Structure 1
C-alpha cells in the first residue's frame, strides 16, 4: 500500500448534463452518474449527499453523526437555466454539471472549473481556496497547527508498524485517527466542511496545487456537512453537536497516570505505589500493558506473576490508585480456549469473502478478530469484557491495536458482515464500534457509573464513547513540539479528551526532555507517562532529585487545578467547547493563525511551555541559573504571570526566560480559577471545599461553576446545579457574589475567594445565595508549580 498518492484530477470523468431526480439532482456524462441531494440538519448546518452511480450500494454506513441528525429537512432543488439551486438556512447552494457554489453571509465556497468528477467508485470535489488563510482540524495529524499547504490521508494505520524507519519524524501521514473535518479560515470568518465517508479519503489543502483543495473519496457515499461560523467557536460547537460531545469522565481519570510496557509482576505495581508515595507525587491510575495476560490470551491473567489481580487492584484502590488494563481485539486462535470457542460458535469473528475465518498474526500468534460491525458480536464482546472487569476489579479499559493491526496479514482480506461487506467499509470504523461495545460492557458492570475508556484508533463520533491518545510517539524534541498542534487540532475535531504519551513511548528520554514533556502536557485533558519496554525507565524519580522536584511541581499543579479542568470538561459536555484551545479560538490576530506552540486551557489560562533543550534555542544564564528563552504571544489585556506573581500587559510578544522548573503560565484578567488547596493523596480529593482564585485587574470576573456528584451519570438526567460567580474589585474592597441554581442541593461546596494582585485591597464582601458577610483579607501562600505565591485569602 502506498501513502501520499492521489488520483490525478485529469483521470476523473466529468458530467455534461443534469436533470432533476426526485428531490435530488442527477449529474451524468460518459463514465459518470452522480446524484446530489441537500438537507438542512440543524441550525447553521446543511448536508449535501453525493451518491456515485458506480458504487453499487448507496447506503451511508458511517456511524459518525448522531442519530437525531441523520435525517433533515429536504431542500428541493429548482432548475434555473444551467443551474440547480438549493435554498437552505445557511445560504444558497448552486450546482452545475461540473461546478458547486455555496453562498453564505460573507463567505463563499466554490469548486474550480471541472471541480466535480468521478473515476470508477472514486469521487473528486476540488474547491478553490479563494481568500482562505488557514485550515484546522483534520483530526489527529503530524505537523503544524495550520494545515494550509498540507495533505492528509484518512486511513487508520498502526503508525510504528507502517513507518518503522520514520516514526520518530514529525511529518508521517496517515495516523491512527480518521476525521475528515476541515475548518477553513476565510478572511476573518470560519467555515467547517465535514466529509462523512467511512472509506479511505484524502484531502490536499493546497499542497499539490496551491489555491486548490482536493477531496477524493475512493469509494462509498459522501455526506458533505457545511458548518456555518462565523467564528471558530461556532463551527466547533456545531460539529460537536452533530457528531456528539464527550460524556463526563470520573474525576480520577483526570489525574496523573503511570504506564510502561514491561511491568510484568504484581510486585512492580506495589513498588510503584510505594515509590509515588515516597516521592510525594500523586498518581490516580496505574496501567497494565500486555504483559499481564496469560500468553496474550484475551480476558486472562498470568496467574504466576499476578496470582490475585482483583486483590491487588482493590489494594491499589484503597490507596487511591485505580487500575486500567489494555484490551486488544485479537483473540488467540486456539481450539479449547473458551473465548475463541465461544466466538466461533456464535460466528462473531471477521471472515474472508469466501466465509473462512480471517486470521492475522499479532501478540497471541495466529489471531482472529471480532466483527464489531455486527450487533451480535458487540453484545458477545460486552458480556465477556463486563465479566472480566468485574472479576478483576478493574476501573478502566485501554483499547489498543484496533486500527485494526493484523501483523503481517493484509487487512484487505478481512471482510465484515459474515464476509459480505468489503474491508474498506468498516476499516476506519473498526475501533469506533469496538469502543461502542466496550462502553456497553462498562455500563453493564456499573449501570450508574462513569466509564473510563481510552483508544488508539478512532473516527468521527468516537468521542461519544472513549478518550483518545495520540499513539506510539518518540522520546524526542520534535515529537514534544508536535504534541501541541496535534492535540489542539484533535480537540477542534470533536475529541476533547485526548493527549500524547508524556515523555515519549519509543526510544530513550533524558532528564531535561522528561521535565519539559510533563510541563507542556500537565494541563492537557489526558495526562499519562508511558514508555516502551526497550526504552529507558522514565518514572518521575528516575533522573534524580532536581528532575523529580520539577516534575512533581507540574503534576501537583494539575491536581491543584483539577476542579478547573473538570469544569472545562463540563463546559464541553454542555456546549461543545474543547478543553484545550488554540489562541485563535478566542483572539483575533494574524499571528495566531499559525501559532501552535502555546495553548489555552478553557478561556482563562494561557500555557506557553518550553519546547527546546539545552543548545537548541535561545538561552541565558542569570545568577548561575540557566534559563531557556522563548517568544510568547500575549493577547490584548492584562495577564497575571503565575511564575513571578505580577501583572503583565498583553497585546504584544514577550521574550520570556524560564528555568528548568518553570512553566510560563498566565491567567487572564477577569478569570476565576477553581483551585483545590487540600491534601494531595492520589485520587482522594474531597471537593466540598474549593478556592475561587480571582484575577481582577481592570475587568470584573465571571464564572459558571457546575455542581454534581462527579461519580455517576445522573447529570445526564439533569441532576446538576450551577453556581454563578461574579467578582469585582472597587477601591479597597473585593465584592464576590455566588448564586446557586439548578437540580442539585445548595451549598454542598464551600467556596473561599482568593484575590490576586491588588495589595491595597483589604476587605472582602461575600454574598452566597443572598446571605452577605464581610471579612478581612490576609496574605497567604498558594502553590503554583514549584513556586509559592503570596496572595490574599
Structure 2
C-alpha cells in the first residue's frame, strides 16, 4: 500500500483515499459546557454533563485517570495497553466542590474541574501546570468536544515548550511544530521499478534530513512528555484509546488530541522529570522482560533465497572472519510458498540438522512469521484455523481475505483468546526444533491492495478501527504466551515491526524498512530515542539500510553506530549489493570487526542497562534531554545519545566527515579512545577518524566490560571482568550496577543471580569504590576477580580491602575475594 499522508486536526476532513478514515472538521463538533452535577467518590469525583459522565480518579499520588463515558457507559478495557489494575494502589485523596469548581487532591497533584464552563486542569502540588484547558478566540474554554463517536481535546502550551514521545515517528525528536497520525501503516513500499523510496525519489540530489518526515508509521503509541521550557518540569499524557488518532502540535499556544472513535480515557502523569513520567507510564502499560543475552549480540540477516548449505556456509564464514555473531536470520523465502509455519523442503531438507549444526558453532537461528495465513483448503494451518473459527470475519460473516505474500490470505482474530492460544501453540511447535525466536512482520496489519477496514474482530462483533493499532500487540502476546507455555523455563525473544502502547511487554521493535542513505542513518537516532522515551527500550534500525545499495563508508559508519544501540541487526533486501561485514574489503571488515568487538566487550554494561529498563522503564538508548531536561541546549538535540546512563555516543552522519560537534552536558566526560577529558556543560568539535566514532564515559561511572570480545555469548562464563572507572572532576557520589546471571532462563527472577552495586565516592584526592554483591549466584557462575581500569589521573596509591597493592605494568589492578564484595581506595 502507498503511505497514508499525514492528517492534522486543522485539515481533517479534506479529501483522502477511500480507505483512509477521516475526521470531521473541528467546528462541527459538539462542545461540552456546563457540568450538571458532581458527586465525590472514594478516589475522586463523578460528574454529569450533557447526558454523559465525567470521572476523575487518582491512580497514584502522581497519576490521575480522566474519562468521559460513551453512550452513558464506561469501557473498562478501551485497549490492551494497561496491564495492571490501576485502582489497586491505595491513594490518599481529598475532594472539594465549590460553586464554580470541583477539585481532587493527592499529595502530588490537584485536578480542577470547572463547573460553569467545562475545564479540566491538572497542577502539581507546587502549583505548576501539568495540563490546562485551551480557550477559543472568544476566550471560552474548550476542554472536550465530540461528534459521531469522534472526540477532540485541546490544551494550552507555551511557545518554547517541547514535546517528546508518540513512539515510532520520523523527523526531529521534539514533536513541536508538526502534526502526527497514529494508524499503523506499512510505510515504505517498493515502487514498480523495485526501488525503495521514503516519501520522495531516493536519487533526488536535494536529499536532506527533513526528507525523512513521513507519517503515519508502523507503531502507534498515544503517549507523550510535555516539557515546560520555563521550569524544566515534565508532565505526561497517555490516551488509552486504540482508534485512529491525530496529535496536532502546530499551533503556537495550544495542542489538540483528536481520536476517531472509542472512549476518552486519559492518564495524566505529574512527573516532574521524564524518568518519573516514564516510570509511571511503564508501571501502567508494562516493562520489557529481561531479554536472553544472545539477543544483545550481533544479528546477521538478509532477504535472500538461502538454501540450507548457504546458511551453514555463512556461519562458517562469520567465524573464519572473526566477526562476533550470535544469530542468523531467515526471511520469507525459507517457507513453502510463503505459507507460515512451513519450510521449503527443497531448500531446507533437514532444518533440525541445520539448527543443531549452528548451535555447535554458537549460533542461534530466527525465522520470520507473518500473520497472513494462505487461504488454501488443504493447507493444514488454514484448515485448522477454519475449523477452530479463529480468523477475522467481514460484516456478512465471511472470512476476511487480504492480499499479501501468499496471495489470498486470512488473518487470525487476535482479539479473541482462542485465536491467540491457537497462534501461540503454532509458534511453539515451530520453534520446537531449536529455533531461538520469532520475527513478526506485516502485522500493522498489512493487507496489500485490499483495504483492511472490512476486517472485523472479536468474532465479527468489533470494528476494524477498534483493534487495528492493537493487532501487532495482540499477535505478539499470543506468540509469547504460547512460547512460555511450551518452554516456561526459557526467556522468549520476539521481534515485531508494528505495535502499540504496551508492546514492550512482549517484543523488541526494529524500525522497519529503511534505505541505505545518510539521512536514514540520521533518522534512526531520533526515531529510536522517541521509542525509548515511549516505553520501548529494545529497538534498533536495519544497519547499513534495508533498501538500496550501501556504499563502503556509509556501511562502516552505520555499523559503528549500530554496535552501540540496543538491538544490532544488519539486514538488507534481495537484489542489492551484499552488505556482510566483509563485503567492502579487508579494510572495512577490520574496522567493522573492531566495532562489533567493542559491543561484545560492553555486553555486561549493556545487559545491566536492560535490567534497569525492566525495573524502572528507563530507555537503554536515550536522548540527552531524558537525563538533562534542565539543559536548554539538549532539548532539540537528536544526533547524539546516551547508551545507558553513562556512555555518550555521537555517530558520524555525513560522508567524508573527519570531525563533528559534540554537546556535553554537565559533568566530566572521558573520551573512550584517547582519554581526553571534557568538563561540561560544553560544546566541542572532535575528530572522527575512520576507525571510530566519538564515545565518552561519564565521570563517576563504573562500567563493566569483558576483557576481550568473545565470538558468541553461547556458554559465556567469564572468570574476570574489567571495571572501567571514570574519574569525576568534582566531589560527590555516583552509583553503578552490574547484574550477572545465566542469560538464558528465568531463574534470575527467583534470585539466581549476582547483583553488584558500585558506589563511587570522590572526596579531595581520594576515590573510594565500594562493590557490594547480592544474590544467590547461579549455576556456572565462574567470575573470581575484577580488573580495575582507571580513566583519569593515574593513582599514586591503590588500596584493596585495607591492603596497599601494586598496579600491574599497564596500570590496572586485579583483585579477587571471589570477585564479589570489595572496597578499593584510589589516592591521586
In structure 2, relative to structure 1, the CA distance for the partners of 1:692 and 1:236 (3 Å cut) is same
Question: Aligned equivalents of 2:440 and 2:331: distance in 1?
Answer: 11
CA deviations on 1:28-72 (whole Å, 9 max, x unpaired) are: 2xxxx542201111241111012233x988453311112332667
| 1:679, distance to aligned residue in structure 2 (A) | 5.0
Choose from 20, 39, 47 the match for 1:25: 47
CA deviations on 1:409-439 (whole Å, 9 max, x unpaired) are: 1100000112111101110110001000110
> 2:64 touches 2:269 (CA, 8 Å); kept in 1?
yes
Match of 1:370 in 2: 412
Question: Aligned equivalents of 2:144 and 2:432: distance in 1?
Answer: 53
| 1:138, distance to aligned residue in structure 2 (A) | 1.0
Question: Aligned equivalents of 1:162 and 1:199: distance in 2?
Answer: 28
2:634 counterpart of 1:592: yes
Match of 1:12 in 2: 29
When normalised by structure 2's length, the TM-score is 0.88
> 1:701 touches 1:726 (CA, 8 Å); kept in 2?
yes
**What's the secondary structure of 1:633's corresponding residue?**
strand
Choose from 678, 692, 696 the match for 2:727: 696
**What's the secondary structure of 2:738's corresponding residue?**
strand
Question: Aligned equivalents of 1:596 and 1:693: distance in 2?
Answer: 27
| 1:79, distance to aligned residue in structure 2 (A) | 4.1
2:181 counterpart of 1:153: yes
Match of 1:765 in 2: 799
Unaligned runs of 5+ in 1: 620-626, 783-790
| Higher strand residue share | 1
Question: Aligned equivalents of 1:512 and 1:638: distance in 2?
Answer: 31
2:198 counterpart of 1:166: yes
Question: Aligned equivalents of 1:292 and 1:740: distance in 2?
Answer: 46
| 1:763, distance to aligned residue in structure 2 (A) | 4.2
Match of 1:556 in 2: 597
> 1:139 touches 1:493 (CA, 8 Å); kept in 2?
yes
2:386 counterpart of 1:344: yes
When normalised by structure 1's length, the TM-score is 0.91
Q: How does 1:394-543 map to 2 (within 5 A)?
A: 394-543=435-584
Match of 1:788 in 2: none
> 1:184 touches 1:191 (CA, 8 Å); kept in 2?
yes
2:702 counterpart of 1:672: yes
Question: Aligned equivalents of 2:90 and 2:69: distance in 1?
Answer: 18
Question: Aligned equivalents of 1:317 and 1:325: distance in 2?
Answer: 15
| 1:445, distance to aligned residue in structure 2 (A) | 2.9
Choose from 114, 118, 128 the match for 1:107: 128
**What's the secondary structure of 2:30's corresponding residue?**
coil
Single out whichever of 397-406 and 742-751 deviates more from structure 2. Answer: 742-751
Match of 1:218 in 2: 260
**What's the secondary structure of 1:301's corresponding residue?**
coil
**What's the secondary structure of 2:85's corresponding residue?**
helix
| 1:499, distance to aligned residue in structure 2 (A) | 1.0
Question: Aligned equivalents of 1:3 and 1:131: distance in 2?
Answer: 22
Match of 2:823 in 1: none
Question: Aligned equivalents of 1:495 and 1:98: distance in 2?
Answer: 35
In structure 2, relative to structure 1, the CA distance for the partners of 1:238 and 1:59 (3 Å cut) is closer
> 2:604 touches 2:739 (CA, 8 Å); kept in 1?
no
2:282 counterpart of 1:246: no
Match of 1:130 in 2: 158
Unaligned runs of 5+ in 2: 13-23, 40-44, 136-141, 203-210, 813-825
> 1:733 touches 1:763 (CA, 8 Å); kept in 2?
no
CA deviations on 1:182-228 (whole Å, 9 max, x unpaired) are: 100013100011111011111011x1x22111000110012211111
In structure 2, relative to structure 1, the CA distance for the partners of 1:43 and 1:715 (3 Å cut) is farther
| 1:554, distance to aligned residue in structure 2 (A) | 1.2
Question: Aligned equivalents of 1:558 and 1:648: distance in 2?
Answer: 24
**What's the secondary structure of 1:245's corresponding residue?**
coil
CA deviations on 1:230-288 (whole Å, 9 max, x unpaired) are: 11111111111111110000100000001111142112211211221222111110001
Match of 2:342 in 1: 300
Match of 1:624 in 2: none
2:136 counterpart of 1:92: no
Choose from 141, 148, 157 the match for 1:120: 148
Match of 1:649 in 2: 679
> 1:734 touches 1:763 (CA, 8 Å); kept in 2?
no
Q: How does 1:606-625 map to 2 (within 5 A)?
A: 606-614=648-656, 619=657
Question: Aligned equivalents of 1:585 and 1:144: distance in 2?
Answer: 15
2:222 counterpart of 1:194: no
In structure 2, relative to structure 1, the CA distance for the partners of 1:426 and 1:362 (3 Å cut) is same
Single out whichever of 698-707 and 674-683 deviates more from structure 2. Answer: 698-707
| 1:507, distance to aligned residue in structure 2 (A) | 1.2
| 1:390, distance to aligned residue in structure 2 (A) | 0.1
> 2:671 touches 2:696 (CA, 8 Å); kept in 1?
yes
Match of 1:262 in 2: 304
> 1:694 touches 1:753 (CA, 8 Å); kept in 2?
no
Match of 1:787 in 2: none
Match of 2:783 in 1: 749
Choose from 40, 64, 73 the match for 2:81: 64
C-alpha RMSD of the superposition: 2.5
**What's the secondary structure of 1:302's corresponding residue?**
coil
> 1:49 touches 1:221 (CA, 8 Å); kept in 2?
yes
| 1:462, distance to aligned residue in structure 2 (A) | 1.1
CA deviations on 1:72-102 (whole Å, 9 max, x unpaired) are: 7797965422333333443222223442221
Question: Aligned equivalents of 2:653 and 2:477: distance in 1?
Answer: 36
- Figure out how many residues of one structure are paired with residues of the other and give that number: 760
| 1:583, distance to aligned residue in structure 2 (A) | 1.1
Question: Aligned equivalents of 1:659 and 1:678: distance in 2?
Answer: 23
Question: Aligned equivalents of 1:679 and 1:632: distance in 2?
Answer: 28
Question: Aligned equivalents of 1:79 and 1:118: distance in 2?
Answer: 26
> 2:720 touches 2:787 (CA, 8 Å); kept in 1?
no
CA deviations on 1:555-604 (whole Å, 9 max, x unpaired) are: 11100100100000011112222112111222231111001111111111
> 1:38 touches 1:76 (CA, 8 Å); kept in 2?
no
Choose from 717, 720, 730 the match for 2:750: 717
In structure 2, relative to structure 1, the CA distance for the partners of 1:762 and 1:212 (3 Å cut) is same
| 1:758, distance to aligned residue in structure 2 (A) | 4.6
**What's the secondary structure of 2:111's corresponding residue?**
strand
> 1:39 touches 1:73 (CA, 8 Å); kept in 2?
no
In structure 2, relative to structure 1, the CA distance for the partners of 1:57 and 1:348 (3 Å cut) is farther
> 1:321 touches 1:683 (CA, 8 Å); kept in 2?
no
Question: Aligned equivalents of 2:459 and 2:791: distance in 1?
Answer: 67
Question: Aligned equivalents of 2:791 and 2:713: distance in 1?
Answer: 31
Single out whichever of 542-551 and 714-723 deviates more from structure 2. Answer: 714-723
